Amino acid sequence: MDPALFALFLDAAATFAFVPGPSIVYLIGRTLAGGKRAGLAAMAGVHAGGYVHVIAATAGLTALFELVPWAFAALKLAGAGYVIWLGLRLLIWPESLTGGPGQKLSFWQSFLTEVLNPTTALFFLAFLPQFASPEAALPLPLQLLILGVATNLLFSLADLPYVLAAGSLREKIAQTRLAQRIQRAGGAILVGLGLHLAFSRSSP
């Protein structure tokens, strides 16, 4: 791969990664609701779900969204609805202060949330080809895969400080009267994020 082009890619990917977005808001909500371990598990789930989109972009599967717009809208609403449902559960039935949502459950819920996010799919489809070159020694699909993995790692690296900070905040107030309110605040964050995703104007 062209070293100069790859350096430009790293600069662009880092810019996207370290600007707070919906993924960071989601992870803060999960961490406030379940604690640091649940937040780290959620981050791992989002990271794993990102690879589904990387593979899809490498194979060109996400281009189907441009050919079938209703599929994009359906997946977008499904993902937003799932995030809202997770938030409502925390608002109506706050988790136990000693445990919160289990790490395994937090991982799989977050994995599914990321897989159901068509905006991530379109981001990889639009972003990765800008930094791949047909003239390079590596085959084009392998270039896209390398760029996708690097992008996903950068996004997870950017998420980590927010999860740790939210986890530390929750630990400090875990034994106070504010604990349950913080859990409900995490649920409210997820509901608000889901509504934002559902009514955002993003499209293929």
> For the whole prediction, is pTM greater than 0.85?
no
Q: Which helix (H) or strand (E) holds 11?
A: helix 3-18
**Are 17 and 5 spatial neighbours (Cβ–Cβ below 8 Å)?**
no
Q: Of 21-35, 42-56, 149-163, 189-203, give the lowest mean pLDDT range.
A: 189-203
**Are 12 and 73 spatial neighbours (Cβ–Cβ below 8 Å)?**
no
Helix axes of 140-173 and 179-199: crossing angle, nearest 10 degrees? 150
Segment 118-134 shows an average pLDDT of 78
Tell me the HSE value of 124 on the side-chain side, using a 13 A CA sphere: 33
